[in-house]
Amino acid sequence: MTITGIAAIGAGLAAIGAGMGIGRIGGSAMEAMARQPEMHGKIQSSALILAAFVEAVALFGVVVAFLQG
Amino acid sequence: MDLITPEFGLVFWTLITFLILLFILRKFAWKPILGAVSDREEGIKDALASAEKARQEMENLTADNERILKEARAERETMLKEARDLKAKLIADAKEEAQAQANKLIEQAQTAIESEKKAAMAELKNHVAGLSIDIAEKVVRDELSNKDKQLKLVENMLGETTLN
Amino acid sequence: MTLNTLKRTVFTVLFLSVFSFGFAEGSKEGGEDKEFDAKEMILHHVKDAYGMHLFDWNDHPISIPLPVITYTDKGLTMFSSSAFHHDYHGHEIVERNGQKFVNVHEKVYVLDEGASSVEFDAEDHPTNAHRPTFDISITRNVFMMWVSIAVLFLIFLTAARRYKKSEDNVPSGIASFVEPLVLFVRDEIAKPMIGEHKYRRYMPYLLTIFFFIWINNIFGLIPILNGANLSGNIAFTFTLAAITFIITTFSGNKNYWQHIFWMPGVPVPMKIFLMPIEIIGMFVKPISLMIRLFANITAGHVIILALMSLIFVFKTVAIAPVSVAFSLFITVIEVIVTAIQAYIFTILSALYFGMATEEAHH
């Protein structure tokens, strides 16, 4: 297996982690919105920000994969 | 690797372009737009505040009216009460006075009756005394015609009147 | 589905297919019998280039030539990118100012003294040529950046004039389109993140960065302008993140620096332990801003192009409906992503400014 292949696997693993993280954020945000529909806007924007933080970690993985590209 | 190495040329142009964009938009777009928006918001806030103030004033006016009305009502109440009191007092006074007058009249009448009575009594006494003298005169005349009897009478009388 | 939407869908599909075909054809140049290389095509798309390639006409690439500006030890040299004749394999040698320039994978190289043609090593890097000291060419990304700021000027200066014209500050025309967006940045980003009292100072920066990123994200998605992938270029995101970092650092108050170097409210060993973490965090914040925007936009472009490339990889039209449908789906998601990424870049910048200016409340 070449180094590029290994990098691609690494990027995939990073995507799995971020997927789980964003999934949890999204699920909890939905639940919270259902519980308190009047807080809809605030929950949505915090969920987006948190998703961006989680996503950044996955993107670091993607960038490492790019390093091999 | 190539993909994630920032190139000098693009960094240079981005920096210059962004600073120009920031400068021009800040001066000619954001300032007028944000200014207009905040002016309008101020205007709306002012309008709301003045509406609120007008409402407050209106409320105050209504409250004032109500207060005045209440005061007037209270005043009327007191006036009525006073009148009623005055009436009662007047009646009571009149009654008292009448009572006093009546008492006085009765007293006067009583005094008059008393004095009349006294006068009548005095007259009666005088009359009786006159009658008595007359009778006595007659009796005496009769009696004194007899010398003995005169003496006896004097003795009796002397006996009766002890020297005190 | 109404007839109108149907028509629009068909049109969009045709439009997308035409342009993906254009890319494929473009990457074939330099040899008719060359195999289609999806990776090369995609990388050439997402990277910067001299000259703005629009489309191919009868196997001939049509592009807008742009100036190549380099600074070497022999001074400033400037020539049109059309001098390369669409070559980016280092074949075409342009002689200017006593130097020989070649275009190797859309990077200008200066041939060493005495060399007459470029030689490559095993990894396809030139061995007898070097990069100029400064390469400040007006590349297609710079060109598109200027187009985008021209559009921004057009939109916002017109909107601002609308306000000046109206007596009661009521927005009309384009201003009524701009105002909700401006208010969104003010009320949903600046006020909650920075605070009611200090947000005003940062409003021009936040507004500018929001609209600058957004419009460039959108321009990156327009097929005919697809040549430019400005917001998916690390140099662009690096510059913006660096400006955010500089503003954060300069507006940091005593409380901010205290939280970095001597965290209040924790025992002394913990303070010493936290200091390096906080110092690293100071730099990681803008770096993550840079990476996030770059990787999101680039990844979106790569996915769309990869789906389109399926047609040419499998060399059959049968796969076209699948790849067009998928890339249409991804494109629609990317349209949302353009706004979300601009929003996230702006809100995180605002968050960092808010952290830097926060007053102590312990």
Per residue in C314-342, pLDDT (tens digit) is 888 888 899 999 989 999 989 988 999 99
Percentage above 70 pLDDT, chain B: 96
Closest residue of chain B to C295, computed from CA coordinates: B4
At residue C144, φ and ψ (nearest 5 deg) are: -65, -30
Decide if A63 and B1 are in contact by the 8 Å CB cutoff.
Answer: no
Quick check: C14 pLDDT over 50?
A: no
* Predicted pLDDT at B11: 93
Count the neighbouring beta carbons within 10 Å of the beta carbon of residue B25.
23
Q: Where are the domains of chain C?
A: 64-137, 142-357
Instruction: Between C119 and C351, name the one with better pLDDT.
Output: C351
Per-residue model confidence as pLDDT tens digits over A9-60: 888 888 898 899 999 999 999 999 999 999 888 888 888 888 888 888 888 8
Residue to mutate among C124, C229, C292, C345, with most A CBs inside 10 A, is C292
Say what the alpha-carbon torsion angle C189, C195, C200, C206 is, to the nearest 10 degrees: -30
The alpha carbon dihedral of C123, C127, C129, C131 has a sign of positive
SS3 of B99, please? helix
- Measured CA to CA, the distance from residue A32 to residue A36 in angstroms comes to 6
Domain membership of residue A16 (yes or no) is yes
* Predicted pLDDT at C127: 82
Per-residue model confidence as pLDDT tens digits over C59-110: 778 888 888 888 888 888 888 888 888 887 878 888 887 888 888 888 888 8
Decide if B9 and C137 are in contact by the 8 Å CB cutoff.
Answer: yes
A65 CB-near residues (< 8 Å, 6+ apart): A7, A8, A10, A11
Best CA proximity match to C234, nearest among C105, C47, C49: C47
Pick from A4-18, C201-215, C294-308: least confident: A4-18
Angle of helix C175-184 relative to helix B31-143, nearest 10 degrees, comes to: 70
At residue C2, φ and ψ (nearest 5 deg) are: -75, 165
Average pLDDT, chain B: 88
Distances (CA, A) of C141 to B27, C266, C338: 26, 48, 17
Least CB-CB distance to C348: which of A52, A62, A69?
A52
Domains: count for chain A: 1
Pick from B74-78, C63-67, C68-72, C164-168: least confident: C164-168
Residue identified by tokens 């703005």 is C52
Distances (CA, A) of B17 to B25, C144, C150, C230, C235: 12, 11, 11, 13, 13
Average pLDDT over residues C123-148: 86
Residue identified by tokens 């981005």 is B14
Instruction: Between C35 and C354, name the one with better pLDDT.
Output: C354
* Predicted pLDDT at B163: 65
Contact C217, C321 (CB under 8 A): no
* Predicted pLDDT at B102: 92
Per-residue model confidence as pLDDT tens digits over C252-269: 888 889 888 888 888 888
Among B residues 3-62, those touching chain A with beta carbons less than 8 Å apart: 3-4
Average pLDDT over residues B19-46: 90
Average pLDDT over residues C233-241: 93
What is the three-state SS of B53-86?
Answer: HHHHHHHHHHHHHHHHHHHHHHHHHHHHHHHHHH
Average pLDDT over residues C134-138: 88
Among A residues 4-33, those touching chain C with beta carbons less than 8 Å apart: none
Contact C144, C225 (CB under 8 A): yes
- Measured CA to CA, the distance from residue C191 to residue C179 in angstroms comes to 16
Task: Assign C241 a pLDDT band (cuts: 50, 70, 90).
Answer: very high
Best CA proximity match to C216, nearest among C205, C225, C204: C225
- Measured CA to CA, the distance from residue C192 to residue C17 in angstroms comes to 44
Domain span holding position A41: 3-64
* Predicted pLDDT at C265: 83
Task: Assign A1 a pLDDT band (cuts: 50, 70, 90).
Answer: low
Q: What is the bridge-based pairing of β-strands C67-72 and C75-80?
A: antiparallel
Residue pairs spanning B and C at CB distance below 8 A: 124
Instruction: Between C110 and A3, name the one with better pLDDT.
Output: C110
Contact C15, C223 (CB under 8 A): yes
Decide if A59 and C292 are in contact by the 8 Å CB cutoff.
Answer: yes
Q: What is the per-residue DSSP string for C176-214?
A: HHHHHHHHHIIIIIIHHHH-TTTHHHHHHHHHHHHHHHH
Task: Assign C34 a pLDDT band (cuts: 50, 70, 90).
Answer: low
Tell whether B23 is within 8 A of chain C (Cβ): no
C182 CB-near residues (< 8 Å, 6+ apart): B30, B33, B34, B37, C207
Decide if C292 and A62 are in contact by the 8 Å CB cutoff.
Answer: no
Shortest Cα distance, chain B CAs vs residue C197, angstroms: 14
Task: Assign B67 a pLDDT band (cuts: 50, 70, 90).
Answer: very high
* Predicted pLDDT at B26: 92
Contact C275, C261 (CB under 8 A): yes
* Predicted pLDDT at C25: 42
Under the phi-then-psi rule, with left for phi > 0, alpha for psi from -120 to 50, and beta for the rest, what region is C87? Answer: beta
Instruction: Between B84 and C222, name the one with better pLDDT.
Output: B84
* Predicted pLDDT at C29: 42
SS3 of B143, please? helix
Q: List the CATH number of the domain containing A49.
A: 1.20.20.10
Residue identified by tokens 């965290």 is C263
Quick check: B149 pLDDT over 50?
A: yes
Q: What is the CA radius of gyration of chain A?
A: 16
Q: Across-strand partners of C52?
A: C64
Quick check: C27 pLDDT over 60?
A: no
- Measured CA to CA, the distance from residue C314 to residue C288 in angstroms comes to 37
Least CB-CB distance to C291: which of A49, A53, A60?
A60
Quick check: C7 pLDDT over 80?
A: no
Beta strands in chain C (DSSP E): 52-57, 60-64, 67-72, 75-80, 94-96, 99-104, 107-111, 129-130, 134-135
Count the neighbouring beta carbons within 10 Å of the beta carbon of residue C195.
14
Tell whether B159 is within 8 A of chain C (Cβ): no
Shortest Cα distance, chain A CAs vs residue B15, angstroms: 23
- Which of B72-86, B132-146, C48-62, C113-127 has the highest mean predicted lDDT (pLDDT)? B72-86
Contact C192, C128 (CB under 8 A): no
* Predicted pLDDT at C8: 57
Domain membership of residue A69 (yes or no) is no
Average pLDDT, chain C: 83
* Predicted pLDDT at C22: 41
- Measured CA to CA, the distance from residue A31 to residue B56 in angstroms comes to 44
Decide if B17 and C47 are in contact by the 8 Å CB cutoff.
Answer: no
Quick check: C32 pLDDT over 50?
A: no
Domain membership of residue A9 (yes or no) is yes
Percentage above 70 pLDDT, chain C: 89
Q: In one letter, which amino acid is C99? A: Q
